[in-house]
Amino acid sequence: MMPSENHSHFSASCSSVTEEARAKINLALHVTGQRSDGYHLLDMLVTFAGHGDRLSFAPSQTDAFTLSGRFAVTLAGDGGTNLVLKARDLLREAVGALAFPVRIHLEKNLPIASGIGGGSADAAAALRGLMRLWGATLPKETLAALALKLGADVPMCLESRPLIARGIGEKIEPTPDLPALAMVLANPLKGVSTPDVFRRLTTKNNPALALPRTGDWIAAIAAARNDLEPLARQLVPEIGEISALLQASGALMTRMSGSGATCFGIFASMSAAEEAAATLHGERPDWYFQATETVSGGA
């Protein structure tokens, strides 16, 4: 999709561009089948947190990539950074002569391998930011195909707004009536291997996502599922513990996002979410807790 105004802030001279790489929250994830190539078919209700990573882009003599932020150290010298660079290279190939050398800085605020699409959000932000910096335009379909090449979650992150995604994640339908939600993201800072979780799936053909349009979104989300959560809990028992902590802090409902280990608790208000995050951080300073508000579908 074409980058939208509310994601980018840049000077009139376009000497640099900043992009937010918002955390992707799977409010629901139903595994509904498996393709012959091994990819699982999913029905997902997805929203995006106000909180996330941040990327900045500036013209440079030669390509450069730098890191900062709480979780930068886990990426240093690791292949995890490559999705941003892969996005740069794929887009450069697509736009040709417009693509001058660029310095990219990634402020890594989200935990790694945590089920909230950090790497995919970074790749999507790289596509949006570089389109801006290079003054490039591509047909929507071309950009969406580029995003899908980078990973099944990247087209969703390119949208960065509430949506339902089906197939392997490429069939996207916006949900404009999904409201902003006050939330605490919580992670025990243990990575969960997505392939390991999927390997444990015994039932691939689960009931599809059906959202009753009652207007009560909390009840609708609570009635849905994350089919990967029981399996991830077997691999990382702390997921159960962190979910119980969120519940005890007054969350209206809790669930794991994606393949884990990040869980979210939805709270009645931002002040309740902030209070819960502060209390939980006091109890478990070695874990990750972040109060955030998700973007609304109508934004």
Q: What is the rounded distance in angstroms from the CA atom of residue 16 to the CA atom of residue 1?
A: 21
Q: Does residue 153 carry a catalytic annotation?
A: yes
Q: Does residue 89 carry a catalytic annotation?
A: no
Question: From the candidates 24, 53, 108, 122, which is the catalytic residue?
Answer: 24
Question: From the candidates 43, 122, 153, 227, which is the catalytic residue?
Answer: 153
Residues carrying an active site annotation: 24, 153
